[in-house]
Amino acid sequence: MFPERFSNLPEYAFPRLRTLLDSRPAGGNVVHMTIGEPKHAFPAFVPEVIAENMAGFGSYPPNDGSPQLQQAIGDWVTRRYGVTLDATKQVMPLNGTREGLYNIAMAVCPEEKNGQKPAILLPNPFYQVYMIAAISVGSQPVFVPATRQNNYLPDYGALPEEVLNRTTAAYVCSPSNPQGAVADKGYWRDLLALAEKYDFQIFADECYSELYRDTPPPGALEVAAEIGADPERVVIFQSLSKRSNLPGLRSGFVAGGVETMKRVRQLRAYSGAPLPLPLQRVAERVWSDETHVEENRALYQAKYDAADAVFDGVPGYKGPDAGFFLWLPVEDGEQAAVKLWTETGVRVLPGAYLSRDVEGDNPGQGYIRVAMVAPIDEMTPALITLRDCLYM
């Protein structure tokens, strides 16, 4: 016997893509633009730090992260957002942010609210772990469209009061994946006011925050501190994967109010898998260094300019404000992905694979997601090939 709660899940995006494309021959040299796996160089000092701390593989790592790593993260939050945290009580390193984005619902979301089945709000499209977290704790995932009409950010305030009265949490990704939209301070202020009115928490996935065009995206903790919001209202999630080109290091963190983090640490003590000590030492060093981040950001800024030039004049094109994905309008995402693959060998992800149908409408249906992670001299010709195939 198997649990019914997962019985109607669609196949995950990338196996689904393989089913769609792998039986068809590529129409040219294969170019992968599907997965958001950074390809820029990670900091040169990483191997040296690992080598210096190899003995740490012989010890169990501390479950809550080393004090040095906690402090390095706390110091980064202060530098980046002007918010001071008690690093021992309000910060916990993660073995990748997916762990935290899933377990936060386990740790803090109640079994019912106002005598009803709880709801957890999600943007649509969305990072798929949000939905699984909601289902796993017996909540109703409420999919809220994030479309061009609302600047690709979900309008949770437009939901019926019946839903908001039983909402326990709302996930927000800013900068957003896949669209690259940034929640400004006004958006965060409005959402914090809504959360206060209806008594729910905000789970802010900010893993793309260090890749942007001109202005650093504001953070949820930053705005919460500015307006004096309840510190338990906001939980943020961050990662070294995009900021520092270290997806394989699996170093992220969760930070929030003291009471929230107490419950997060308690669950982690039973079920977590902390980062090995040598990798914690690497993460400590990487969170403390901004030079490599500035260099990395400059590479992405050049890619934004290249993409804007390639797609200049393409109807409906909007370059990302941040992150490293293009969210390109097409008539049908699956058909576009098949055409592109069979005629050129360029491989992209249909937007519908990142979203769910709600009342017969899928906000990702008319899009493809394109990852701009390859070096610019590889990326630009692939984008030109894509444009010529789909838009010319």
Answer yes or no: is pLDDT of 376 > 90.
yes
Between 115 and 7, the higher pLDDT residue: 115
Answer yes or no: is pLDDT of 1 > 80.
no
Report how far residue 191's alpha carbon sits from residue 175's, in angstroms, rounded to the nearest whole number.
Answer: 16
pLDDT tens digit sequence for 226-258: 999 999 999 999 999 999 999 999 999 999 999
Q: Which two tokens stand for residue 322?
A: 């941040």
pLDDT of amino acid 104: 98
44, 180, 219, 262, 287 from 292: Cα distances, Å: 9, 22, 21, 33, 10
Q: Which two tokens stand for residue 46?
A: 């990483």
pLDDT of amino acid 4: 85
Span 360-374, average pLDDT: 96
Span 268-295, average pLDDT: 96
Among 205, 140, 213, 158, CA closest to 178: 205
Span 198-227, average pLDDT: 98
Q: Report the DSSP pairing between strands 367-371 and 349-350.
A: antiparallel
Buried b or exposed e, range 132-169, using 16+ CB within 10 angstroms:
bbbbbbebebbbbbbbeeebbbbbbeebeeeebebbbb
What is the pLDDT confidence band of residue 6, given thresholds at 50, 70 and 90? confident
Q: Which two tokens stand for residue 102?
A: 């899933």
pLDDT of amino acid 8: 82
Q: Report the DSSP pairing between strands 140-145 and 91-95.
A: unpaired
Span 161-167, average pLDDT: 98
pLDDT of amino acid 199: 98
Report how far residue 44's alpha carbon sits from residue 310's, in angstroms, rounded to the nearest whole number.
Answer: 32
pLDDT of amino acid 5: 85
What is the average pLDDT value for the chain, to the nearest integer? 96
Q: Which two tokens stand for residue 323?
A: 């992150």
Answer yes or no: is pLDDT of 78 > 80.
yes
Phi and psi at 13, nearest 5°, equal -55, -45
Q: Which two tokens stand for residue 329?
A: 């309008």
What is the pLDDT confidence band of residue 2, given thresholds at 50, 70 and 90? confident
State the angle between helix axes of 376-390 and 291-310 in degrees (0 to 180), rounded to the nearest 10: 30
29, 64, 307, 331, 332 from 339: Cα distances, Å: 14, 48, 20, 12, 11
Span 282-311, average pLDDT: 98
pLDDT of amino acid 7: 82
Span 79-87, average pLDDT: 97
DSSP secondary structure, 46-111, as one string: HHHHHHHTGGGGGSPPPTT--HHHHHHHHHHHHHHHS----HHHHEEEEESHHHHHHHHHHHH--S
